[in-house]
Amino acid sequence: MLAVLTFIVRRSLWTVVVMFVITVVVFFIFFKTPGVDPARALAGRDPSPQVLAEVRQQLGLNRPLWIQYGIMMKKIFITRNLVSYSDQGELIIPEIFAAAPITLSLVFGASVIWVVAAIVMGVAAARLRGTIYDPVLMILALIGLSTPVFWLGQVVILITQVKLHSSIFSWVQLGYTPLTQSPVKWFEGLIFPWITLSILYIGLYARVLRANLLEVQNEDYVRTARAKGLSERRVLLRHTLRTSMITFLSLFGLDFGALVGGGAILTEVVFGIHGVGFLTWESLTNLDLPTIMAVVIYGAFFIVLANALVDVAYAWIDPRVRPT
C-alpha cells in the first residue's frame, strides 16, 4: 500500500515538473521568438500605440525575463485575468473553462462509442479469421480510419439536417445543451458529432486490437488456457482479450487526453460546437496569440494528466508493472 502511495506521489510530482517545462517552452516560443516584438504579436491586428504601451505595461515586457514569465503564469493560473486584445478584452481563462465541459462531453461520448465498437469489431475480426468477414471488417476499419472528419461531418449534417431532416432525423437538433439542464437534449445534440468523431478511432482501435489479439493468441499461456479445458469464449475474453487491453488502454489514454486538450478541433468547427477546439480555431483565424498560448498550455495539461492516469491504470491492469 505504501509502495502504491509513493508511486502516485512520485508520478504526480513528475507531472508537475513536466507541466513546468511545458509552460517555460511555450513562454519562450511566444515571447522570445527572435525578431518578433511580443507586445505587437500579442496585441492583435494593427494595435494603436496606446494599446501597445498598455500591453507592455500589463505584461511587464520591459522587466527581466523571469518576471515576465512570472507575470504571465500569474495571469493564467492565479488571477486568471489574461485578456484577449483582439477580442475586446475578453477574459481568456473563464472562456476556456466554459468551453472545457463542452469538449469533455463531446470526447467522452465519442470515446464510449469508439471503445465499444472497436472491441466488438476487433474481437469479431480476430475470431472470424480465415473467413471472408475478417478482411471485410478490416477494410471497413481502414475506410473509417482514412475518412476525413471534416468531410464526414459535412455529409452527416447534409443527411440529418437537410435531406432527411423532415422525416427520420427530425429529432436531431445539433448544438450543445449542458447535461445538467436536459440529458435528452444533451444526447440528441451530440450523438451525431460523437459518431463522426469516433469513426476514425473505431477504425484505428479495431485494427490495433485485432493485430494484438492475433499476437496474444499465439502466446503459450493461451494454449495453457485451452489445455485447461476452458471454453473458446472464456479463453478469448478472460485470457486473450484481457492481456490485449494493456496496449489498448495505453493508446486510449493518450488519444483521450489529446482530444480533450483541443484535438477535436475539426469536429467542433464542422458542427459548430463551442468547445476548446472551436476556441482554438477562432483564435487562430483572429491571430489572437494570448488565447492560443493559453489553449496550448491547457491542452498540454490534459495530455500530461492523461499520461499520468494511463500510468496508474497500467499498474492496475498489468501486475508486472505494479510498484512493490
Partner 1 sequence: MTEPLLDIRNLSVTFRTEDGLVRAVDGVSATLQQGETLGIVGESGSGKSVTMMTVMRLITDPNATFEGEVYYKGVDLLALPQDQIRSIRGAGISMIFQDPMTSLNPVYKVGWQIAEQIREHEKISKQGARARAIELLTSVGIPNAAERVDNYPHEFSGGMRQRVMIAMAISCNPDVLIADEPTTALDVTIQAQILKLIRKLKSDYGTAVVLITHDMGVVADMADRIAVMYAGRIVEQGTQRELFYDPQHPYTWGLLGSIARLDRPRPRRLAAIPGQPPSLMRLPAGCAFAERCAYRFDACETQQPQLLDRLGTGHLDACLLSEQRKHAIRTRTVEPELVEETP
Contact footprint for partner 1 (CB under 8 A): 130, 219-221, 223-232, 234, 238-239, 242-243, 246, 317-320
DSSP letters spanning 212-260: HHHHHHTSHHHHHHHHTT--HHHIIIIIIIHHHHHHHHHHHHHHHHHII
CB 163, min distance to partner 1, A: 45
Closer Cβ to partner 1, 179 or 315, answer by number: 315
Element (H, E) at 313: helix 289-317
CB 244, min distance to partner 1, A: 11
- Residue where the block lists cell 432525423: 169
Closer Cβ to partner 1, 96 or 213, answer by number: 213
The rounded Cα 87 to chain-centroid distance in angstroms is 26
CB 130, min distance to partner 1, A: 5
CB 248, min distance to partner 1, A: 13
**Helix, strand and coil percent figures for the chain, each rounded to 5:** 75, 0, 20
CB 139, min distance to partner 1, A: 21
Count of CA atoms in the C-beta half-sphere (13 A) of 97: 8
Closer Cβ to partner 1, 132 or 227, answer by number: 227
Closer Cβ to partner 1, 59 or 222, answer by number: 222
What the block records as the C-alpha cell of 249 is 488502454
Closer Cβ to partner 1, 41 or 128, answer by number: 128
